[in-house]
């Protein structure tokens, strides 16, 4: 009778509740009805995420053990879940053989595309095109969902000022304000406007928090910063994602002020869940709860589980199985409140309802939809659009670009000339993309050139840029026979990403020897850079006449780069991360604080500067050239003074003074001239991307209100100061016009 009663209740829930709209706001009563029927073991099972790979252990050793875990309700989700047939089988087991019949979630790191790969996120941010970024994530979501995935561990929202850190390729650069705008676009693209539809995936904002501030740019390293700095620069993208409805958040590996994020009560419980009223769930990064032992704040796995759960800092344990091993005993011993487990479980169930999994647990497993997604022309078009908009023209001395399509002979030289190696033009996060589907640079150039033109190809230097002497000699011979040389140089995608920190940011290997040998010929030369982070290009920036930053542009790499090289697309990208002169200058970023001894002119002595290089980066935040030129008028203000309730309108006229149409990203910066604490020399507070034909002008208007002037002071009060502010507008952070206004 007891089992019959349970079955009837579950059927009633299925018939009467699941059919209702599954928005996060109105499903709590459904969650409560399920939670009341669950045993403690089953609740803990929902908190346990396992790697589906049989070799990962310790619970999963073979197919039989995997199925047993599902039957017993010992896991609520799995990651590294790529095999569609296996996912279908496990979901059927969960829905037919487990007691509670709670659907599973399947997850994978889909960072910038599944089979069709978009540019890396750092590259996408350089488009400053929020609509294109959202569309790119929509493509990624639809392809992922079509392949049976419910959840992806992206977007990364870490503010990144240190290019030694390999994961800068996953983020949106050095600016928190822009990062927050991009965070919203990414969440909206992944989750859509109705998460219950089977063409959406659950987004995961990561890594909370400060991960990008790791000391020495070393992966997993500690972070030391004030809460004021954390709130001002590192938390805003997360807060924006929460407000956009992101369903999951991942904690970071690092400590902040010696407290690991995965057990940081103030960060997760106090700020995220209470202050921001976050209703989604928090997942640890891989094995991070178990690593509390390594941090030295837990004696054993029981202690680690108690620390993370009692601080309510991790609702879900990714793969360390610490919760699985310890939580039940801890509850029985009175060391962990069951109410904390209930809260964590409710958060996870809430998202499963929102995803529509209770209503249609098999809704993501349509093989016909999966196969059709691979041929969708709209996906390729969106990826191509994103790739073109991500390219940044760093130098174009003598207007060598664009190249003529009738150039008689072109020498295409370098490791990325005709990419054949795994991860050429892609990143380490592209597990399921295949190199054969990538359009190489050679293929792209061939599609643009006159049939009578000749391309001489030297794919030299290999995976790590190790150029053999005979390879360089052969490349020089080909270059001598050419009219123009294109150098395809940089980093293979496998040297970027997690645990890919570097202390030397020069071109890997001895590519510089190749470059110097080619430049010695005096031929017109264009360098196309394929890389996942800012590189140190001191020699290259002085000696190569044209440099195009292509990043790792994905499966449409060759087509996108060729369109820019031959003028079918006028580049408009602007850097979102400064390029340092050398690693000794790091961190170098635009919104730094002034010092008591700021250098203002070259002859200044006893100022804050280096003896051997300038303070400024080679290429600053917001920098990027076009094949046309733009003139900025003086700034016009609607008022010289505003009150707390006023809105200031700031206007500037932009004119295309060149010979071709082009897009310009107009950037607005502010500075609080006198505040309670020292304020940055510049802070981005607006931008607009405009298209202008030759000789066309447009007046661009920005609005500034009290909210744009606020900051966190030393007492952690979010406020704005009365007094003078400087407003600056320009094509990049280093080249601006300015005006002064006052807040009364």
pLDDT in tens, 556-584: 999 999 999 999 999 999 999 999 999 99
- Closest to 382 measured CA to CA, from 179, 204, 138: 138
Q: Among 261, 199, 265, which residue's Cα sits nearest to residue 234? A: 261
pLDDT at 9: 46
Report the DSSP pairing between strands 77-79 and 48-51.
parallel
Contact yes or no for 187/244 (Cβ under 8 A): yes
Tokens at residue 650, please? 């700031």
The Cα 525–Cα 104 span in angstroms is 55
Q: What is the pLDDT of residue 14?
A: 47
Residues 458 and 87: their CA atoms lie apart, in Å, by 44
Write out the H or E segment, with its range, that includes residue 351: helix 338-354
Question: Which pLDDT value is given to residue 56?
Answer: 60
Give the pLDDT score at 646: 97
Q: Which of 162, 285, 315, 424 is catalytic?
A: 285
Pick the CATH number of 376-585 from 3.40.50.1700, 2.40.110.10, 3.40.50.1360, 3.40.50.2300: 3.40.50.1700
Burial label for 629, CB within 10 Å (0-12, 13-18, 19+), is middle
Q: What pLDDT is recorded for position 599?
A: 80
Grouping H, G, I as helix, E, B as strand and the rest as coil, residue 626 is: coil
| pLDDT score at 20 | 38
CA distance 50 to 118: 28
Alpha carbon 523 to its chain centroid, in Å, reads 38
Radius of gyration of the chain (CA): 27
- Per DSSP, the residues of 198-250 read TT--B-EEEEETTGGG-GGG-TT--B---HHHIIIIISHHHHHHHHTT--EEE
Q: Give the pLDDT confidence score for residue 53 in this predicted structure.
A: 79
List, by residue range, all CATH 3.40.50.1700 domains of the chain.
Answer: 376-585
Look up residue 326 and give its two tokens: 């310890």
What's the rounded Cα separation, in Å, for the pair 27 and 247? 14
pLDDT recorded at residue 387: 98
Task: Give the pLDDT of residue 6.
Answer: 52
Q: Which regions in the chain score pLDDT beneath 70? A: 1-25, 54-57
Sheet of strand 281-283, all strands in order from the earlier edge strand to the far edge: 204-208, 248-251, 281-283
Query: Model confidence over 394-448: pLDDT tens digits?
Result: 999 999 999 999 999 999 999 999 988 888 999 999 988 888 999 999 999 999 9
Sheet holding 662-672, edge to edge: 641-642, 735-743, 723-732, 662-672, 683-692
285 is catalytic: yes
Q: Which of 460, 320, 349, 370 is nearest to 100 (CA)?
A: 349
Query: 277 burial class (0-12, 13-18, 19+ CB within 10 angstroms)?
Result: exposed
Nearest partner of 87 among 144, 18, 139, judged by Cα: 144
The whole-number pLDDT of residue 5 equals: 46
Statement: 630-743 belongs to CATH 1.10.760.10: no
Tokens of 141: 């979501």
Q: In this structure, are residues 68 and 50 in contact, taking their beta carbons and an 8 Å threshold?
A: no
Minimal CA–CA distance to 292: which of 304, 310, 305, 309? 304
Instruction: Answer yes or no: are the C-beta atoms of 143 and 362 closer than 8 Å.
Output: no
Please name the residues in contact with 96: beta carbons below 8 A apart, sequence gap of 6 or more.
Answer: none
pLDDT at 198: 96
From residue 615, alpha-carbon distances to 40, 188, 394, 595, 735 in Å are 59, 38, 19, 12, 15
Collapsing DSSP states into helix, strand and coil, what is residue 656?
strand
Which residue spans of the chain are classified as CATH 2.60.40.10? 630-743
Alpha helices in 520-556 (DSSP H): 538-543
Q: For the whole model, what pTM was predicted?
A: 0.95
């Amino acid at each position: 009778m007891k089992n019959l009663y349970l079955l009837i209740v579950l059927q009633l829930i299925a018939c009467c509740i699941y059919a209702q709209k599954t928005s996060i706001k109105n499903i709590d009563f459904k969650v409560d009805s399920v939670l009341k029927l669950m045993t403690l073991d089953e609740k803990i099972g929902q908190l346990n995420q396992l790697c589906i790979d049989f070799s990962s252990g310790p619970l999963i050793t073979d197919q039989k053990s995997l199925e047993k875990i599902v039957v017993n309700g010992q896991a609520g989700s799995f990651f590294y879940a790529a095999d569609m047939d296996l996912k279908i089988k496990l979901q059927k087991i969960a829905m037919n053989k487990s007691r509670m019949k709670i659907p599973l979630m399947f997850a994978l790191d889909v960072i910038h595309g599944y089979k069709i790969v978009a540019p890396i996120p750092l590259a996408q941010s350089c488009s400053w095109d929020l609509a294109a970024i959202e569309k790119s994530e929509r493509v990624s979501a639809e392809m992922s969902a079509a392949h049976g995935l419910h959840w992806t561990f992206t977007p990364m929202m870490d503010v990144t000022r240190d290019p030694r850190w390999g994961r800068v390729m996953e983020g949106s650069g050095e600016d928190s304000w822009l990062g927050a705008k991009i965070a919203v676009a990414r969440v909206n693209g992944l989750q859509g406007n109705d998460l219950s539809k089977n063409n959406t995936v659950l987004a995961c904002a990561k890594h909370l928090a400060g991960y990008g501030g790791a000391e020495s740019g070393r992966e997993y390293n500690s972070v030391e910063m004030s809460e004021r700095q954390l709130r001002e620069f590192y938390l805003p993208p997360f807060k924006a994602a929460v407000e956009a409805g992101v369903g999951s958040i991942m904690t970071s590996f690092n400590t902040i002020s010696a407290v690991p994020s995965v057990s940081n009560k103030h960060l997760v419980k106090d700020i995220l869940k209470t202050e921001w009223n976050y209703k989604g769930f928090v997942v640890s990064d891989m094995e991070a709860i178990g690593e509390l032992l390594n941090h030295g704040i837990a004696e054993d796995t029981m202690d680690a589980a108690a620390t993370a759960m009692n601080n309510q800092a991790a609702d879900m344990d990714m793969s360390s199985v610490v919760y699985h091993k310890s939580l039940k005993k801890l509850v029985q011993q009175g060391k962990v409140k069951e109410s904390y487990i209930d809260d964590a479980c409710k958060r996870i169930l809430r998202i499963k309802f929102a995803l529509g999994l209770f209503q249609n647990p098999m809704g993501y497993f349509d093989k016909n939809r999966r196969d059709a997604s691979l041929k969708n022309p709209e996906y390729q078009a969106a990826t191509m659009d994103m790739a073109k908009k991500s390219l940044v023209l760093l130098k174009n001395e003598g207007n060598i670009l664009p190249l003529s399509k009738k150039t008689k002979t072109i020498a295409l030289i370098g490791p990325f000339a005709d990419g054949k190696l795994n991860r050429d033009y892609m990143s380490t996060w592209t597990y399921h993309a295949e190199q054969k589907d990538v359009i190489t640079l050679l293929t792209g150039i061939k599609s643009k050139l006159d049939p009578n033109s000749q391309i001489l190809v030297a794919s030299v230097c290999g995976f790590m840029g190790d150029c053999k002497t005979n390879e360089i000699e052969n490349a020089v011979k080909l270059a001598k026979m050419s009219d123009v040389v294109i150098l395809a140089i940089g980093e293979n995608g496998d040297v970027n990403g997690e645990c890919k920190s570097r202390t030397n940011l020069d071109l890997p290997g001895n590519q510089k020897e190749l470059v110097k040998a080619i430049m010695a010929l005096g031929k017109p030369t264009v360098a196309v850079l394929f890389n996942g982070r800012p590189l140190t290009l001191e020699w290259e920036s002085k000696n190569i006449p044209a440099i195009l930053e292509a990043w790792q542009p994905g499966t449409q790499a060759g087509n996108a780069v060729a369109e820019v090289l031959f003028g079918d697309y006028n580049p408009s990208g602007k850097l979102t991360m400064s390029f340092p002169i050398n690693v000794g200058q790091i961190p170098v970023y635009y919104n730094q604080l002034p010092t008591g001894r700021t250098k203002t002119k070259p002859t200044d002595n006893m100022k804050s500067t280096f003896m051997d290089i300038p303070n400024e980066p080679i290429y600053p935040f917001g920098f990027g050239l076009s094949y046309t030129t733009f003139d900025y008028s003086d700034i016009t203000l609607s008022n010289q003074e505003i009150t707390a309730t006023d809105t200031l309108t700031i206007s500037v006229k932009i004119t295309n003074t060149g010979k071709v149409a082009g897009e310009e990203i107009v950037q607005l910066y502010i500075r609080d001239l006198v505040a309670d604490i020292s304020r940055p020399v510049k802070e981005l507070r607006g931008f607009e991307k405009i298209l202008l034909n030759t000789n066309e002008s447009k007046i661009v208007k920005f609005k500034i209100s009290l909210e744009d002037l606020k900051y966190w002071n030393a007492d952690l009060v979010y406020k704005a100061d009365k007094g003078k502010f400087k407003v600056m507008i320009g094509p990049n952070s280093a080249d601006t016009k300015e005006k002064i206004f006052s807040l009364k």
